[in-house]
Amino acid sequence: MTPSNEDELSANNEDKSLVSSILSGNKALYRVLIQKHEQRVFALGVSFFHNTEAAADFVQDVFLRAYRKLDQFEGKSRFSTWLYSIAWRSAVNQKDRVKEYQSIADVEYESEYDTPEESSIKNVMREAVRNAVDDLPNKYKVCIDLYFFYDRSYQEIETITGYPVNTIKSHVFRAKKILKEKLADFMEKY
């Protein structure tokens, strides 16, 4: 279920308010920002570093960098976009290239509330998506992940990755076409 625009606006206003309070001296509120965004930063870390220990270190590094640059957040974009651009650049710099990027479709998410049947269906679907996404060129994987899994706009992806908007649109369009073709047989079965 995707959040409504009203929910996103409310969350963004809350983030801006938190940043303002932190910059005014209430530094303890930074923990609230961390709690709101650490799961997605962690998933990005897993996408690049392929293990949870390295991803956990990555999360700490990203939030430390963000804290040091918090006064540079101007509020022109969502806080999450600003934060993910720091995370993206940090990950790319640490990996020294994007060639080793692994799609978030590969990250396992389980819910304790899933029935065995729901869990089984999710596993089958995850495997189908994982295989289809794995065959995409890396530049498509990155754009697809940020667009669909992180719910970023084209402009936000440009801010995060530095790719031009038209290139991002082209990558997303081509990736969707490839995924549609690869997942057609799977969709007929389920």
Residue-level pLDDT at 114: 62
Q: Does residue 28 sit in the same domain as residue 78?
A: yes
Helix axes 79-95, 30-49, angle to 10 degrees: 40
Please say if the pLDDT value at position 186 is more than 50. Answer: yes
Query: For the chain, first and last CA: distance in Å?
Result: 20
Q: What is the pLDDT of residues 97-150, one digit of tens each?
A: 444 555 555 445 555 556 777 677 667 777 777 778 878 888 888 888 888 877
What 3-state DSSP class applies to 165?
helix
The confidence band for 70, taking pLDDT boundaries of 50, 70 and 90, is very high
End position of a domain, from candidates 60, 84, 102: 102
Tell me which residue range forms the domain holding 54: 1-102
C-alpha angle 151/154/158, rounded to 5°?
110
Q: Does residue 9 sit in the same domain as residue 37?
A: yes
Q: Does residue 56 sit in the same domain as residue 113?
A: no
Confidence (pTM):
0.59
**Total number of domains constituting the chain:** 2
Q: Does residue 78 sit in the same domain as residue 134?
A: no
Looking up residue 150, the CATH number of its domain turns out to be 1.10.10.10
Q: Find, among 110, 146, 137, 127, the residue nearest to 190 by Cα.
A: 127
Q: Does residue 89 sit in the same domain as residue 67?
A: yes
Q: Does residue 134 sit in the same domain as residue 87?
A: no
Q: Does residue 113 sit in the same domain as residue 97?
A: no
Q: What is the pLDDT of residues 53-65, one digit of tens each?
A: 888 999 999 999 9
